Structures are given as structure tokens and as C-alpha cells.
Amino acid sequence: MLNIKQIIKDPKSVEARLKRKEPDLSLDPLLKAYDAYCKAKSESEEASANLNRLSKEIGEKKRQGIDTTSLMNAVVDAKERVQTLSEHEPELEREYETLLSELPNLPDDDIKISPDPKENVCIKSFGEKRAFTFPIKNHVELGETLGIFDFKRGAKISGAGWPVYKDLGARLEWALLNLMIETHLKNGFTFCLVPHLVRPNIMYGSGQLPKFEKQLFKLTDDDYDLYLIPTSEVALNGLHYDEILTEDELPKLYISYSPCFRREAGSHGKAERGLIRVHQFNKVEMFAFTKPEDSDKTFEKMTKSAEEVLEKLELHYRNMLLVTGDMSYAAAKTLDIEVWLPGQDRYYEVSSVSNCRDFQARRSKIRYKTEQKNNEFVHTLNGSGLATSRLMVALIENNQNEDGTITIPKALRPYLGNIDKIQ
């Protein structure tokens, strides 16, 4: 959430920066709602002060033996006005806070302004695309032949977009997760296993609600009002919800493994088949709480930790700094790490590292006490470290052989009993 004081101080400047993300955005409804709330609050305070003044005056006149009938009538009217205003003020406060919560985060000033993802900026590339000397297959064909996925039975169980991993497919997935976790632990992250169902306020705190309500899976009955997490970022952000941390605790660096649940209402055509776009996938998530002056340094640390996993797997990737129009709602800066999928003949994101500045911290009321004993909002950062579904596609398609087997990268073999091929 943005700072309402910053918006009121310079609404034109804030609106101009927000338009870099959403060109049609206008702050007028928010400014009008906030003005109405401020007027109602001022009237409520004045009415309360008037009631206190009348009550004090009645007490003084009674001590002097002066008739207070007219003042008593005025008190009745004053109490009614105070009650009416006190009931109306919270409604106006909720109205402006709802409008404020729907605004995206401000993009950093050095982010390229464009609505077109095709203008994302490549700032790094590792390795080269593999040159195949034989007709290649995509991961769906390879997976069916080798018996490592079962998309048909997954669909029978839950519907399209819910894959089943089998035999060496399941073991390879688990090996990937172990490699990721060990890499991030080595790099100074603390491992957490978090709940996969969270409360609405935790979803709100991370920026998922109210904007992405329709993309989430929800559990509602007489006993529970919970959401399935679309990423463990949500729960990790919630670890310190409404807390005041000490300065020497920061930065806090976490990783978590979890399945992720998303409705994925986008395209489901030929290019999105198999593991490319699914409703449930596995991911190791990185998350950080930092002091504001340390968040850029932490962004680089998280990026390098994600890159290290891909380099251990010997996969070609590129880093794309997203333009304003392609950034997420909560992010001030986002870097996507994309791998080449030869079966799809294109790059796909396997990690997205974002600096959210104090956007999530304001929503979640996460602060830290400075040396001057002031409570300031922390900065939060998140990054995939990595998401396995498309990474699995990259491993299978890039390491396929002419005889239909798949070579297992050396970094994964210790987790698989030193098996070097899927065949």
C-alpha cells in the first residue's frame, strides 16, 4: 500500500508515476474519498469537543445553582450529532482505504516506461542455446514415452492443469527441490515450511487481495475462511505480520518449499500444454525483510542465488528487467530469469525477483525500530528460487538425446542414486 501522506503532498507526481504501470489510472476518486473522510473526522472531533464543553459548562452552572435546562437539551442534540458522525466516519475511512489498497506500487524511477513486455531489457545471458542434430520432441511427448508424467490421469482426478509426476519424473522433481534448498541454505537463507492455507488478512498484506481475488482458490465453510497460497511468498510475508523488529535482526532471509495453487485463467492452447501452465506446481521461494538502505543489495543477492541453481544445472538463461507495464502489482522493480525451452521455441520465466520496497510492509504493518527509536517500515523482497514446472520442461527438452533418453545433469545425480539417464 502507498503512503497516503505522500499522495496528498504531491498527487500529480504520484499519479504520473502510477500511470507508468496503468496509463488510465486516476487518483481523483481516492482524493475525493479522502477529503470526505478528513472533513467527517474534523466534524466529529469538533462535535465531541462541543459536547465536552457543554458538559463542563453544565457542571459549573449546577455548582452555582443556575438553571441548566436549555444546556441539557443542547447536550442531547450534541450527543446525537456525535453518534451520527462517529457512525459515518468509519464508513468513509473504509471507502478511501479500499481505493488506496487498489493502487499498485510505484515503479522505481530508473525502470523503462512501456506497456509492452516485448520491450523488457535483457541485462545478462548465461550459456548458449543447444544446437540439436536431430528432430527434437517436446516435454509432453518425451514424458509420455518415458512414463514420467501422467496428464490424463491427473485430469481424471482433478481436471486439466493438475499433472501427475511418476517414477523418475517424481524423483527428478524432488531432486530439483533438494538442490535448490541446499543452494539457498549455503547462501545464508533460513528454511521454513509454512501453512498452505492462510487467512484473508495475510493475503491482503502480501497484495493478493482484493485485486487478485478471482485468481485464488478459496476454502469457505462454517469453520474456515482461508485461501490456498498462490506462492509461499504470501505466508512468508505473513510471518512478521503486525510486528516491530529490532534493527539488528535485519535482514531476515527466508526460503520455503510449497506447492502453489493458481486458477491460471490465461491461454491454454498448444503453446501452454503440459507443464507450461498448470493450477498446481512446486516452488522454492526466497523472501527477505530488510532495512530500506539494504534492499537493493539484497535484490542482487537473491538474483545470484537463483542464478546459481540454473548454472549448476548447466541451463542457458537470460535476465530480463521488466518494463513498467509488465511488472507485478506489488513490485517497484522486477527481474525475470528466463530459460530457453526448445520444444516451445521460446523463453519462459522460471524465476521472478521483485523488490516491493515498503508496499507490503505498510499493508502488513511490519516495522523495525531504528537506532533513534523510531518505528519505520521494512522493505520486503521476494524471488522464485525456483519454480519447478517450467524448469522441469527445460531440463527434459534441453537434455534429450536422439534415442529418446534424457541425460540427467551432474548436479542432480547425487539425489537420484547417481542415475545418469532417464530411459
pLDDT band at 88 (very low <50, low <70, confident <90, very high): confident
Instruction: Give every strand in the sheet of 367-369, ordered side by side.
Output: 244-246, 367-369, 375-377
Exposed, middle or buried, 83 (CB in 10 Å: 0-12/13-18/19+)? exposed
Cell numbers at residue 294, please? 539494504
Instruction: Locate all alpha helices (DSSP H) within 114-199, ordered by sequence.
Output: 139-146, 151-158, 168-186
For residues 122 and 119, give the distance between their C-alpha atoms in angstroms, rounded to a whole number.
9
Residue 255: name the closest of 360, 185, 352 by CA. Answer: 185
Asked whether residue 126 carries a pLDDT value surpassing 90, the answer given is yes
194-242 tens-digit pLDDT: 999 999 999 999 999 988 999 999 999 999 999 999 999 999 999 999 9
Q: Where in the sequence of the chain do the CATH 1.10.287.40 domains occur?
A: 28-101
Tell me if residue 38 falls in helix, strand or coil.
Answer: helix
* Type of residue found at 75: V
Answer yes or no: are the C-beta atoms of 174 and 419 closer than 8 Å. no
For domain 117-422, which architecture applies?
2-Layer Sandwich (3.30)
For residues 320-334, average pLDDT: 97
Asked whether residue 62 carries a pLDDT value surpassing 80, the answer given is no
Asked whether residue 267 carries a pLDDT value surpassing 50, the answer given is no
For residues 35 and 5, give the distance between their C-alpha atoms in angstroms, rounded to a whole number.
12
Tell me the average pLDDT of the chain: 93
pLDDT band at 67 (very low <50, low <70, confident <90, very high): low
Residue 286: name the closest of 242, 244, 340, 337 by CA. Answer: 337
Residue 143: name the closest of 405, 414, 410, 418 by CA. Answer: 405
Q: Say which residues have a Cβ less than 8 Å from residue 212's Cβ, sequence separation at least 6.
A: 230, 329
For residues 358-374, average pLDDT: 96
pTM of the full structure: 0.92
Least confident window among 65-69, 153-157, 247-251, 272-276: 65-69
pLDDT at position 273: 81
For residues 121-127, average pLDDT: 98
For domain 28-101, which architecture applies?
Orthogonal Bundle (1.10)
Asked whether residue 113 carries a pLDDT value surpassing 90, the answer given is yes
Cell numbers at residue 385, please? 528460487
Q: Where in the sequence of the chain do the CATH 3.30.930.10 domains occur?
A: 117-422
Q: Say which residues have a Cβ less than 8 Å from residue 25's Cβ, sequence separation at least 6.
A: 15, 18, 19, 103
Cell numbers at residue 251, please? 535482514
DSSP state of 150: -
pLDDT band at 260 (very low <50, low <70, confident <90, very high): very high
pLDDT at position 265: 56
What b-and-e string marks burial along 388-404, b requiring 16 or more CB atoms within 10 Å of the CB?
bbbbbbbbbbbbbeeee
Asked whether residue 86 carries a pLDDT value surpassing 90, the answer given is no
- Angle formed at CA 105 by CA 101 and CA 106, multiple of 5 degrees: 135
Q: Say which residues have a Cβ less than 8 Å from residue 380's Cβ, sequence separation at least 6.
A: 237, 287, 288, 289, 290, 356, 357, 358, 359, 360, 361, 366
Cα torsion angle, 190, 193, 197, 199, sign:
negative
Residue 253: name the closest of 214, 283, 293, 297 by CA. Answer: 297
